[in-house]
Chain A
């Protein structure tokens, strides 16, 4: 232990701090609805995001039905199909994954894990959720407007996004989408500032940056990145809204529609793509870094072993975060941008594989010589490594400019990004929910249902997306309402599509078991106690479970060690909580 010497802060007196600065709620309404408690806000964020996730799941069923059994379901016409894929994509990326990792896990875990009473700006934190909810409502409202939601693809490329050949392009769909995104970004900024400032300013005594759990590092880095990346999307959305509603031409060159020249000139469609991907690529890591952090803690806790190479893990997170801002145009190799960009962006993109690979090695090396408990959170963590590794490796195809040429815009891309930023982070979300549910509710989730949910979700998702790469390698383009007749596509590929659809229906349906488990265990789950996983981090050391408003009672915790003192030689137990001063002391003297 070179970096975090035990007891380096000596016998610091416990900080007895009255939580006078917190606003304690006086009514049911201010306690559970307009709450300023980060933990309640976290639950609000999570339930909203999971609800949007269920909508997005149904949309994915509908699009898979069309792809697997084209023409069988007459209510899915081309318009509806493009609306489904667009809303599925945007909902999952922004309104589910971003909101759940940062608004959900960030709010719950940051104050508890760094030993704070709450976020530093509780009122702004509350506003953040309500503005997020407004953004969700605006987005969902577009289903009920004339013309329906936009069908421009989640990338919303102009000019087609605001033209009549695209569903919602000349109706309300695209307007509501852009407004919803802008509202979301406003709400996120309020939350994001909170997460960053809380980590920097409100850590407990002794919680140095290099003692923070990787979960906090991941969420912190992702929030910081989101604060830098989302503004690019915001400007893009404002400009496109002007193009659509006021007739400006930011993204509109001189073009014709249905054989008639339009009154537009001078704009650049590529400008939007640069703005979009300047946001869009960091966004991938905004989703991935919290997952990296959380999975590190899950693996370490359930393998009863310190995370391997902690310092390298932190630097890798920061390196990935920084590099992710200079790789965006790898989404645009075949966009018609200056082809010389390809050299630069292929190089930066492949360099990012190095810190990412280090993270994978260190997760696996944490398992090595561990004491692996195959709990449900651990199973999800293992599945994350497999799917993330798979999706990360196919990223080396797409990042390597000339290899991207035949694969770009095919099902290979769809398979790649679902594996790497869909399946992998969602597996972490599930693992994290099984892991922290006891802290949130005081009860364990049902184990048998959890394992059933795990195996079908993991093996099913792998069976959906692994073969899909080969459809793309064959040349099947993405975003095709129907493949129809393609001379290079054998009939067996249609069978593969039908197979994928059937598995997708099953994997989707099994999520109901998970939802059932969430509600059933609330009342019938086994009582968990305060620290069922025997974990070291501060959130498991609260005086009460679930922790009340203010988290810590009268005394804030004092931190004496890093977050990964598992199986320390000579210690009485196989874990030493971060707030335990003496390595030889028995667990339980400092709390409960």
Chain B
């Protein structure tokens, strides 16, 4: 009796916690509302299964508890019941997988008009590189890294001459434009994670990984490192500031002039 009651309380408590507790995802600031929808679908299906199974257990524990004279029912298997349960489970799984794969295809298909932005991680800070007026990022190589070239940008490549380098951990992005983030690390594996963007991808040394998203509201959002990168992992923070197009352009002009001034002596 008590055991069955506790099983019911666990079920009711879990559902109540889910619905009433103040802890929920942070409001989205990118185009990936589809991801949130898929999570909701998954919560509904898995929640229904959890409630059904645990309540059925509670019923069994109460109804079939040992009493003098009770004998269990001898029935090794029931093909019909097992087949039926397998099919229902298969349908439930498909109902979660199909939207998941559909959204994943969008997630990895970068729109043609996306702007490249390089996001570079090193222990334990973020740097960024934006393409200049030519819209292209120049090549880079970890072996070129030196104190006056912390990102290892090649000075031979003309496409890199006008690149805008932003150090200090603050990335600015214009609202409503798709961004293709090219992720690069110079030392260990990091992970670019902005909870509001529902965006997360590792930065792996020796390769360039990518992720794309479109910021949909202005504001300041935190960048966290989500892949253990050494003892300073928890301090590896940055910010994304999403701005209106005009504010962003003004900021970009200002940055570009500073970058040219710095690169000029080396470029001769």
Instruction: Decide yes or no whether B100 CB sits under 8 A from chain A.
Output: yes
* B 51-64 to A, binary, CB cutoff 8 A, 1 in contact else 0: 00110110011001
Flag if A353 contacts B77 (CB, 8 Å). no
State in angstroms the CA–CA spacing of A473 and B35 once bound together: 12
Flag if A306 contacts B35 (CB, 8 Å). no
Instruction: Decide yes or no whether A390 CB sits under 8 A from chain B.
Output: yes
Flag if B187 contacts A257 (CB, 8 Å). yes
Residue in A closest to B22 when the chains form the complex, CB atoms: A492
Residue in B closest to A255 when the chains form the complex, CB atoms: B205
Partner of A334, one of B105, B200, B232: B200
Query: Which of B191, B224, B228 has the most CB atoms of chain A within a 10 A radius of its CB?
Result: B228
Question: How many of chain A's residues have a CB under 8 angstroms from any CB in B?
Answer: 116
Interface hits, A262-287 → B, CB 8 Å: 265, 267-270
Flag if B25 contacts A259 (CB, 8 Å). no
* A 142-185 to B, binary, CB cutoff 8 A, 1 in contact else 0: 00000000011100010110010111010000000000000000
Flag if A406 contacts B73 (CB, 8 Å). no
Flag if A304 contacts B72 (CB, 8 Å). yes
Interface hits, A365-390 → B, CB 8 Å: 365, 367-374, 379, 382, 385-386, 389-390
| Given contacts A347-B97, A401-B100, A569-B74, A374 and B206 within 8 Å (CB-CB) | no
State in angstroms the CA–CA spacing of A382 and B57 once bound together: 8
Residues of the A chain whose Cβ atoms lie less than 8 Å from the Cβ of B201: 334, 336
Instruction: Decide yes or no whether B183 CB sits under 8 A from chain A.
Output: yes
Flag if B85 contacts A361 (CB, 8 Å). yes
Instruction: Decide yes or no whether B26 CB sits under 8 A from chain A.
Output: yes
B212 to chain A, nearest CB (A): 11
Pick from A8-16, A100-108, A475-483, A518-526 the stretch touching chain B: A475-483
Flag if B143 contacts A310 (CB, 8 Å). no
Residues of the B chain whose Cβ atoms lie less than 8 Å from the Cβ of A479: 228, 233
Residue in B closest to A159 when the chains form the complex, CB atoms: B188
State in angstroms the CA–CA spacing of A346 and B122 once bound together: 31
Instruction: Decide yes or no whether A25 CB sits under 8 A from chain B.
Output: no
Partner of B232, one of A78, A259, A462: A78
Instruction: Decide yes or no whether A588 CB sits under 8 A from chain B.
Output: no
State in angstroms the CA–CA spacing of A328 and B165 once bound together: 38
Residues of the A chain whose Cβ atoms lie less than 8 Å from the Cβ of B97: 346-347, 350, 400
| Given contacts A160-B229, A346-B104, A474-B24, A386 and B7 within 8 Å (CB-CB) | yes
Pick from A42-50, A120-128, A198-206, A560-568 the stretch touching chain B: A560-568
Flag if B103 contacts A402 (CB, 8 Å). yes
Instruction: Decide yes or no whether A33 CB sits under 8 A from chain B.
Output: no
| Given contacts A163-B187, A256-B187, A405-B199, A370 and B72 within 8 Å (CB-CB) | yes
Instruction: Decide yes or no whether B31 CB sits under 8 A from chain A.
Output: no
Flag if B90 contacts A261 (CB, 8 Å). no
Residues of the B chain whose Cβ atoms lie less than 8 Å from the Cβ of A256: 122, 142, 145, 152, 186-187
Flag if A386 contacts B10 (CB, 8 Å). yes
| Given contacts A400-B97, A475-B25, A306 and B76 within 8 Å (CB-CB) | yes
Residue in A closest to B21 when the chains form the complex, CB atoms: A470
Interface hits, B209-242 → A, CB 8 Å: 209, 220-222, 224-235
State in angstroms the CA–CA spacing of A389 and B187 once bound together: 40
Residues of the B chain whose Cβ atoms lie less than 8 Å from the Cβ of A342: 104, 108
Residue in A closest to B83 when the chains form the complex, CB atoms: A312
Flag if B26 contacts A475 (CB, 8 Å). yes
Pick from A219-227, A391-399, A424-432, A539-547 the stretch touching chain B: A391-399
Residue in A closest to B221 when the chains form the complex, CB atoms: A487
Instruction: Decide yes or no whether A452 CB sits under 8 A from chain B.
Output: no
* A 324-355 to B, binary, CB cutoff 8 A, 1 in contact else 0: 00000000001110011011001100110110
State in angstroms the CA–CA spacing of A474 and B224 once bound together: 13
Flag if B39 contacts A487 (CB, 8 Å). no
* B 132-169 to A, binary, CB cutoff 8 A, 1 in contact else 0: 00000000011101110010100000000000000000
Instruction: Decide yes or no whether A410 CB sits under 8 A from chain B.
Output: yes
Query: Which of A259, A303, A309, A406 has the most CB atoms of chain B within a 10 A radius of its CB?
Result: A406
Flag if B71 contacts A371 (CB, 8 Å). yes
Flag if B206 contacts A367 (CB, 8 Å). no
Instruction: Decide yes or no whether B255 CB sits under 8 A from chain A.
Output: no
Partner of A358, one of B24, B73, B85, B186: B85
Residue in B closest to A367 when the chains form the complex, CB atoms: B60
Flag if A261 contacts B23 (CB, 8 Å). no
* A 553-576 to B, binary, CB cutoff 8 A, 1 in contact else 0: 000000000001011110000100
| Given contacts A255-B187, A304-B72, A467 and B23 within 8 Å (CB-CB) | yes
Instruction: Decide yes or no whether A471 CB sits under 8 A from chain B.
Output: yes
Residue in B closest to A481 when the chains form the complex, CB atoms: B234
Instruction: Decide yes or no whether B268 CB sits under 8 A from chain A.
Output: no
State in angstroms the CA–CA spacing of A204 and B231 once bound together: 56
* B 25-42 to A, binary, CB cutoff 8 A, 1 in contact else 0: 110000000110011001
Flag if B107 contacts A405 (CB, 8 Å). yes
Instruction: Decide yes or no whether B204 CB sits under 8 A from chain A.
Output: yes
Flag if A79 contacts B231 (CB, 8 Å). yes
Flag if B72 contacts A403 (CB, 8 Å). no
Flag if A408 contacts B145 (CB, 8 Å). no
State in angstroms the CA–CA spacing of A465 and B189 once bound together: 28
Instruction: Decide yes or no whether B112 CB sits under 8 A from chain A.
Output: no
Residues of the B chain whose Cβ atoms lie less than 8 Å from the Cβ of A568: 74
Flag if B64 contacts A367 (CB, 8 Å). yes
Residue in A closest to B90 when the chains form the complex, CB atoms: A354
Instruction: Decide yes or no whether B266 CB sits under 8 A from chain A.
Output: no
Residues of the B chain whose Cβ atoms lie less than 8 Å from the Cβ of A292: none
Instruction: Decide yes or no whether B249 CB sits under 8 A from chain A.
Output: no
State in angstroms the CA–CA spacing of A335 and B23 once bound together: 27
Residues of the A chain whose Cβ atoms lie less than 8 Å from the Cβ of B71: 304, 371, 567, 574
Flag if A467 contacts B17 (CB, 8 Å). yes
Residue in A closest to B229 when the chains form the complex, CB atoms: A160
Instruction: Decide yes or no whether B259 CB sits under 8 A from chain A.
Output: no
| Given contacts A268-B206, A397-B42, A487-B222, A354 and B228 within 8 Å (CB-CB) | no
Flag if B189 contacts A157 (CB, 8 Å). yes
Residues of the B chain whose Cβ atoms lie less than 8 Å from the Cβ of A242: none
A517 to chain B, nearest CB (A): 20
Residues of the A chain whose Cβ atoms lie less than 8 Å from the Cβ of B73: 305, 369-370, 567
Instruction: Decide yes or no whether B123 CB sits under 8 A from chain A.
Output: yes
Residues of the A chain whose Cβ atoms lie less than 8 Å from the Cβ of B172: none
Instruction: Decide yes or no whether B261 CB sits under 8 A from chain A.
Output: no
Flag if B81 contacts A259 (CB, 8 Å). no
Instruction: Decide yes or no whether A488 CB sits under 8 A from chain B.
Output: yes
A569 to chain B, nearest CB (A): 6
Flag if A474 contacts B25 (CB, 8 Å). yes
Flag if A393 contacts B230 (CB, 8 Å). no
Residues of the B chain whose Cβ atoms lie less than 8 Å from the Cβ of A487: 220-222
State in angstroms the CA–CA spacing of A405 and B100 once bound together: 11
Instruction: Decide yes or no whether B251 CB sits under 8 A from chain A.
Output: no
| Given contacts A371-B70, A567-B71, A270 and B204 within 8 Å (CB-CB) | yes
Residue in A closest to B23 when the chains form the complex, CB atoms: A470
B171 to chain A, nearest CB (A): 15
Flag if A488 contacts B26 (CB, 8 Å). yes
B27 to chain A, nearest CB (A): 9
Interface hits, B240-268 → A, CB 8 Å: none
A452 to chain B, nearest CB (A): 14
Instruction: Decide yes or no whether A311 CB sits under 8 A from chain B.
Output: yes
14 additional contacts, CB 8 Å, given A346-B104, A369-B72, A488-B196? A157-B189, A254-B141, A269-B205, A308-B76, A339-B107, A351-B93, A367-B61, A369-B64, A403-B42, A406-B195, A408-B226, A480-B233, A484-B235, A574-B72
Listed by A's residue number, 16 A-B pairs whose Cβ atoms lie within 8 Å are A157-B189, A160-B188, A163-B230, A269-B204, A270-B204, A306-B75, A309-B78, A350-B93, A351-B93, A358-B86, A371-B64, A382-B61, A386-B10, A406-B25, A474-B24, A567-B73
The 7 closest A-B pairs by CB, nearest first: A253-B206, A165-B230, A475-B195, A336-B209, A160-B188, A369-B73, A488-B26
